Every structure is written in C-alpha cells, then in structure tokens.
Amino acid sequence: MEFRNERTWQNAADLGKTEDFHLNYEAAVGKVRAAFGDKHPIIIDGKEVWSKATFPDTSPADTSLVLGHFQKGTRSHAKQAIKAARAAFPGWSATPYLERVRTIQRAADRISERKYAYAALLSFENGKNRYEAVADIDEAADLLRWYATEMIRNQGYEHTMGQFLPGESARAMLKPYGVWAVVAPFNFPFAIAAGMSTGALIAGNTVVFKPASDTPYIGLKLCELLHEAGLPPGVFNYVTGPGATVGQELVDNEGVDGFVFTGSRTVGLAAFKTFTRERPKPIITEMGGKNPTIVTASADLEKAAIGVTRAAFGYGGQKCSACSRVLVDRTVKDAFLERLVLETQKLKVGDPTQRDVYLGPVINDAAVATYEKAIAEIRRSNGKIVFGGKADPKVGHFVDPTIVGGLPRNHRINKEELFVPILSVIEVNGLEDAIQVANDVDYGLTAGIFSREPGELRRFFSEVEAGVLYANRAAGATTGAVVGVQPFGGWKMSGTSGKSAGGHYYLPQFMREQSQSEYAS
C-alpha cells in the first residue's frame, strides 16, 4: 500500500480549482451552523452517557455563539470508561492486525469525504482560518493512513529470530499494553487527537479519550467516525469534562496502562510524575517549544521575512512549533525587520470563516490575559513594540500579531512559551552566537535558519538542539511539519519519548516486546 498525503489546498492550487475549494468550505460553514446549540453525550462502551451538569462550547471568534452543550464529566465517568476499555481489550488486542488496519483505513476515508464539514466546525470551535482548518483535517487522514502503512510495512511488528539450540524455534513481537488514556490539545484537536488515538488503537490497545474542554465538538466527531468505521464498543471511549476531575482520574487510575498527552509543560510534567509514581508505565508527552529562527548575514531577507511571519503568526502563535524568537545577525537586522513588519501588516485579523482572514482569535479569555500580561511586562522592561500590541476582545478573543525588540536575552518573554502571537527579535553576532542563544532555553521542539552558506546550514543541523529543523523554508520557518515527510517531536522539555509523530519510530511506543521460544517435544 503506497502512502500519499491528502494535500487538499495544494491539489486545488495545482489543478486550478481553488474556487471549488472555497465554495466547498463555504457551503460546509452554512451546514454546520444549522446544527449548533444541541446537547451532546459522553460515549462509553458505545453508549450515550449523560452527566448531571453540562458546559457550553462557545466560539472564540464570537463568544455569544454556543456551538453545543457538552457533559461535565466526573471521576466516576472516567472510571466507567476505563472499565469499559479494559473489558474490550482482550477482544481488540486479539483482532488480527490487518483487520485493525482496515478499520483505521475506513476511518481515514470518512475523514477525506467529510473534510470540509469538519474544517468548518473547526473554524468555529478553535478559530482556525479555512486553510489551517482543512490542513488540520488533512493531517488527521494522513496520520491514520501513515500508521496503517507502517503497521503493514512492519508486518504487525513480528519477526522470526535466530536458532541457538537444535529444534529451537524463536520469534519476537510487539504486543499492546492495554488501556491508554489520550488527552488532546485545543490547537490541533482533530489531527493530534486522531494521531495519538490511532497510535494506541492500531497497535491493539483500547482508549479513553479526553478532548480539550475548548474543543469537545470536533473530538466527538472523531469518536463518531471511528465507531462508524467499525471499532467495537468499548475500544474507544469519549469523556468530556475538567482536567481536574476527568483528566486527573486518567492519570491516577491504576487501570490505565499508558498515557499520551499533548499540551502544556506544567500539565505534562505533573502527569509524568504522577503516572509513573507507583510503577514503570509508558507515557508519551509533547509539551511545547520556544522555537527560534536564525537569520544570518547571507540570508535571502525576503524569503526569511515571509517564512518567519507565517511561522510566528499562523494560527495566532498557538502552534507548539510557532516561531516565537527570531535571532537576526546585527548586520542585517534593520533591513530584515523592515521586511518583517511589511509582511505582518498584510495579515487580516477577524472572523476565521471569511476568505480573506489570515488570523482568527486566540482560544479563550486566559489566552487574552496571557497576551495582555506579556505586553504590559514588555513595556515595563523598556522593550520596544515594533508592531501590534493591542487586544480587542469585545466580540471574540482577538489580539494583534505583535513584534517586539530590545528585551534582554534572558528575559522571561524570550525563555517561556506564551502560546500567543508575540514574536521577539533578538540581535546576534554571527552564527555561533545565534546557535548559543537558540539552544539556551529548556525547550527543543523546532528551529529554522535562513542562510545561503552551505557551511552555516551544516553547522545548524549539527549543533541546534531540537527535534525538527528547517533551512530556508518560506512556507513556515519553524512550522508545517508534514506526515511522512517531517516526523514531529521534541527534545529536552519539549517531550519525554524522543520519538516523533508521523515518523517510523512512533508506533512501537504503544507496544512492548515479547520473545517466544518453542522446542521440539
């Protein structure tokens, strides 16, 4: 089976059918809007479950728009889901791997068929513009198909081993652990949720899935399509609710055998410590980044300005891979900064369902507060607001894409992940200085460079401490990893496993090895 990326927008552009892309998306916007306001259940063991309390899912672009009402799950619901997943594990793990693969492939096909409807819902729920929303859905389909391909390529991860004694027959295989908790983020609530869940499911594990409380609706769609594709009851359970209750139960409960999480460093580290406290258990976390782009004296400044702008402000800086620091050689700093501001000025902020809008809202009130606190701190520190610096949260959670300069290298803004559209410009003295600054943070997720010197590129690839590196990438200096092209995972505080999603080494993390030896009787 040959793997191919979905490439919806790129294919439309290549074939001269971009207007079809827009019309399909816009038709889907009207259809999904008609379904807003309904109540939605938790799904445990294939059955609807209703809690005593609900919470509204509102659009960050228009907080008066209620997309739906979702169940405020409790620890009891999480326990119920874990019990169902454990009961379903023997049957699912014994299912031949090719049958599990076919189920996942059917789910991928359904994603492809419904991509515009899912993308339109995503724009309403987490504020992505149409291009980013469709790309999120495409990535989900890609991840399902990639992992299906990997399972087939590795023949279910079973190998015949050597012989040491006469009559000896030995083999080694990877087997599933049991029940996995999957806790997804708001920023890629379909792609990352689907990828993490598929990693567990296709390996033969069962899943209890908790979506981010800001994006429960698209998580429900994932649950529905997996069941439509043929997952037996109890194999995938969907539980909405607060992290303090549902999420904490998934971390604390001894019935959970593995934990996979994408989100903040604080939550990820707390989960890591608690989950492995009593006994060794697998936990896979991706915990963000403080991603730099280096612009050298030899760089193509036009290309660099475009690539940095897209990486810093795509989806409002709310990507784990967003460029939040640009390290510019002092000899080209002024010329680069001028181009960077010109590119940023082109970005329209507003309703993400509109065709010409690049930057929608940040996700919630807390993100606006983070932005405003950072801007105030920058001003107090005598930093310079080069562009932006204002919030306008009257209707939705809107803030300006913002460029700042003049902050000390060790300033908090240059060290901590903010997850809002603030880009700090740092002057450096040559490549050696730039690499030192790039590495002088706790994180190591992505990094980029713009340079025309092959020797500088070799040194960048050799010395920068991050899991995903790009050179001269105008499409996004630090962002836009593609499944099967750029495996995505972090070093240092950006992740705990050192193995990357969408790559060759991801699936084995959801399994453990067993050797089986048989002798002539």
**Tens-place pLDDT, residues 122-147:** 999 999 999 999 999 999 999 999 99
What would the mean pLDDT of 453-473 be, rounded to a whole number? 98
> Which DSSP letter does residue 510 get?
G
What would the mean pLDDT of 238-243 be, rounded to a whole number? 98
Which residues carry out catalysis?
A: 286, 320
In 3D, which of 343, 322, 329 has the Cα closest to residue 295?
329
Q: What class does CATH assign to 37-159+175-287+497-512?
A: alpha beta
Report the C-alpha gap between 95 and 74 in whole angstroms. 31
Q: Read off the amino acid at residue 506.
A: Y
pLDDT score at 465: 98
Percent of the chain clearing pLDDT 90 (strictly above): 99
C-alpha distances in Å from residue 471, one per residue of 135, 187, 341, 459, 497: 22, 25, 22, 11, 25
CA angle 43, 274, 177 (to 5 degrees): 55
C-alpha distances in Å from residue 501, one per residue of 102, 282, 357: 20, 16, 30
User: Cα 149 to chain center, whole Å?
Assistant: 21
Strand 402-405, strand 422-428: pairing: parallel
Report the C-alpha gap between 398 and 402 in whole angstroms. 12
Report the C-alpha gap between 140 and 121 in whole angstroms. 15
In 3D, which of 343, 358, 347 has the Cα closest to residue 305?
343
pLDDT score at 479: 98
Q: What class does CATH assign to 291-482?
A: alpha beta
CB 61, CB 32: distance < 8 Å = no
CA angle 117, 121, 125 (to 5 degrees): 170
pLDDT score at 521: 83
What would the mean pLDDT of 27-54 be, rounded to a whole number? 97
For 236, other C-beta atoms within 10 Å of its C-beta total: 26
CB 508, CB 147: distance < 8 Å = no
Break the chain into its structural domains and give their ranges: 37-159+175-287+497-512, 291-482
What would the mean pLDDT of 392-396 be, rounded to a whole number? 90
The residues that bridge with 141 in the sheet, in sequence order, are none
Q: What is the pLDDT of residues 192-223, one digit of tens each?
A: 999 999 999 999 999 999 999 999 999 999 99
In 3D, which of 182, 141, 178 has the Cα closest to residue 3?
141
pLDDT score at 1: 65
Strand 168-176, strand 468-471: pairing: unpaired
- Give the position of tokens 């189920």: 103
Backbone angles phi, psi at 70, to 5 degrees: -120, 155
C-alpha distances in Å from residue 435, one per residue of 19, 423, 460, 493, 502: 43, 18, 7, 18, 27
- Give the position of tokens 């809107």: 398
Q: Answer whether residue 304 shows pLDDT above 90.
A: yes
Buried b (16+ CB within 10 A) or exposed e, 484-504: bebbbbbbbbbbbbebbbbbe
